Structure 1
Amino acid sequence: MTLSHAKAGEVVDISPLGAGLESAKTTTLVKTDALQIVRLVLQAGRSLPNHSAAGILTVQCLEGRVQFNCLGESHELSPGQLLHLPHAEPHSVECLESASLLLTIISDPSGKRPLNAIDEASDESFPASDPPAWNAGKRT
């Protein structure tokens, strides 16, 4: 059976699962070329080893508690807390008590890595030798 994802304009319920949390499974809610939204369900004591996602990632704790390890730090996430990671940033998760998390992965459908500030500056439409169009603090 093929799992259907939410269509544009369709309302998706992401309320806490409560008593149904222990029997719930991870579900992809929305999937397009550039966006994927997943309700990740983890049972207490389970973990996800170090891995990365092909895109910018947000993680929102809907219920339960997890230890989220990324960027050289450990963060305990509880309901109502959210964090984000840059493109393809390695991370791991330890589930402290059964939890559901809302993951949002934003990717570039062309397969190109998103620009960082340095790449973006080098992609500007004027050559580096051109002076800026404004003079900070100077009146002519």
Structure 2
Amino acid sequence: MAQPHASAGQIIDAQPLGARLVDEKTVALFKAQDLEVMRLVLQAGKALPPHQVAGEITIHCIEGVLDVTLGGRSHVLRAGQMLFLTGGALHGVTAMEDASALVTIALKR
């Protein structure tokens, strides 16, 4: 069963998953007309292949370590760090350790 998206005014728990990290999956937290926020969960060694989206993106590492490739360069994100990507930027994400992140996408129509 799909997890429902949060409604306007609803509190969303975005704390580190801790010991639950190994059992969790990536989920969309909410999607509005111009904005989508998801919790990305990747176990060590797992990756999202290079891809691009039309809108701007932020990747805020909550826990673990992520390697974001962008423009042929590696950007290592640790807990508490955030990376901004322009719309259309080709990027990939690899978990160097079990990790979770908040990913915000500005939706372009």
Structure 2: 5+ residue runs without aligned partners?
none
**Cα 1:7–1:18 shift into 2, 3 Å:** same
| TM-score of the aligned structures, taking structure 1 as reference length | 0.74
Please name the residue that 2:107 is paired with. Answer: 107
| TM-score of the aligned structures, taking structure 2 as reference length | 0.94
Please name the residue that 1:8 is paired with. Answer: 8
Please name the residue that 2:75 is paired with. Answer: 75
Runs of 4+ off more than 4 Å: none
Please name the residue that 2:43 is paired with. Answer: 43
**Identity within the alignment, %:** 44
Structure (1/2) with the larger strand percentage: 2
Please name the residue that 1:55 is paired with. Answer: 55
Deviations 1:15-53 (A, max 9, x none): 000000000011100111211000000000111111012
Structure 1: 5+ residue runs without aligned partners?
112-140
Q: Shift in Å at residue 72 of structure 1? A: 3.0
Which is greater in Rg?
Answer: 1
Deviations 1:48-86 (A, max 9, x none): 111012311000000000111113321110000001111
| AA at the equivalent of 1:25 | K
Q: Shift in Å at residue 2 of structure 1? A: 4.4
Give SS of 2:21's match: helix
Give SS of 1:102's match: strand
Q: Which residues in structure 2 correspond to 1:87-98 (within 5 Å)? A: 87-98=87-98
Give SS of 1:97's match: coil
Distance (Å, rounded) in 1 between the aligned partners of 2:33 and 2:39:
18
| AA at the equivalent of 2:48 | L
